[in-house]
A and B are shown apart, each in its own frame.
Chain A
C-alpha cells in the first residue's frame, strides 16, 4: 500500500517538473522568436521593393515597448524611444544599405522576475552599402523584454563594450 503511494507521489513530482520545464521552454521559445522576427525584418535583400520595406519597418516597431531604452555608447545611440521612433530609426539605418543581414547568436535567456526576460546574446550585422563598401559589425547585447498583453516586447537594449580602447 505504501509503495503505491510512493509511486503516485514520484509520478506527480515528475509530471510537475516536466510541466514546469515545458512551460519555461515555451516562454523561452517565445522570447527567442522575437529575435528571429527582428532579424528577419531588419535584414534587407538586394532590390527590396517599397511595400516590403514599409511592411518590415512598421513591423520592427511592433517588437518594442512604448518606452524602450537604448544604450549604445559605442555607436553613439542612446536614449528612450517609442515604437514609432524605433521604426523611423530602423528605416533610416536600413536606407544606405543595398543588402543587410542581422543575425543573433548564443542567446542566453533568463527570467529574473515574472513578465520579464533578460537575454544576453551576440548580434552580427553584415551588409553592403549602396556605395559598394562592406560593413561587418559584431557586438554583445544585453536586452530586457517585458511581457505586455501576452507579447514579449523589447524594453531595454544595451550594447556591451568588449574591447575598451
Chain B
C-alpha cells in the first residue's frame, strides 16, 4: 500500500511549493546546461569522417576555450550567425604560421605534419598562405574529395565556440 502510494506520488506529485521550486530549479539548470554550456550536436556531412561519422550525436562543450585558445589538432565547432548551425573542423595551424598542401601532405612553416587522423587518400595542392592574427586554419579530416568541394580555411578565433565532448 505504501509502495503504491509512493509510486503514485512519484508520477503524479502534489503541486506543493517545494515541488514547484524543485521542478523550476531542474528546468533552469537543464536550460542553462544544455542550452549554453553543453549543447547537443547532430553531425551532418562527411567532412570529418572517419573521426566523426555522418548522423552521429555528440555535445559541444563550450567552456573549453575560456582560459586558453585553440591549439593545433584540436577539433573545434565554428559557428555561423548563431549557434544552431556550426562547422566541425580540426585546427591545423594557428596565427602567424604558414600553411600549404603538397600532394595531399600538410606542411606548416615548411615542415611536414604527421596527421594520423587522416585515413583516406588525398591529393590536394594549395600554395602557402599565412594565418592572420586572431585566426586559426581549420580543415576536415576527410580530404578524399576535390579541394574545391571541401569547406576549409582560416576562421576567426571569435567564431570558435567549443569542442565536441568525445
Contact = CB atoms under 8 A, between A and B. Distances in A.
B45 interface: yes
A162 B45 CA distance: 17
B82 interface: yes
Nearest to A141: B81
A138 B44 CA distance: 12
A74 to B, nearest CB: 10
A163 B140 CA distance: 12
A162 B83 CA distance: 14
B138 interface: yes
Contact of B81 (A108, A136, A163, A165): A108
A122 B153 contact: no
Contacts of B152: 163, 165
A122 B85 CA distance: 7
B85 A163 contact: no
B5 interface: no
Interface in A102-142: 105-108, 120-122, 124, 136, 138-141
Contact of B85 (A108, A138, A164, A165): A138
Interface string B84-98: 110101000000000
A136 B82 contact: no
A106 B84 CA distance: 7
Given A162-B159, A163-B153, A163-B154, A136 B45 contact: yes
Interface residues of A, number: 17
CB-based closest 8 A-B pairs: A106-B82, A163-B153, A122-B80, A165-B153, A105-B84, A140-B80, A122-B81, A164-B154
Interface of B: 44-45, 78, 80-85, 87, 89, 126, 138, 151-155, 159
Interface of A: 105-108, 120-122, 124, 136, 138-141, 162-165
30 contacts: A105-B81, A105-B82, A105-B85, A106-B80, A106-B81, A106-B82, A106-B84, A106-B85, A107-B81, A108-B81, A108-B82, A121-B81, A122-B81, A122-B82, A122-B84, A122-B85, A124-B85, A138-B80, A139-B80, A140-B80, A141-B81, A162-B87, A162-B155, A162-B159, A163-B151, A163-B155, A164-B153, A164-B154, A165-B126, A165-B152
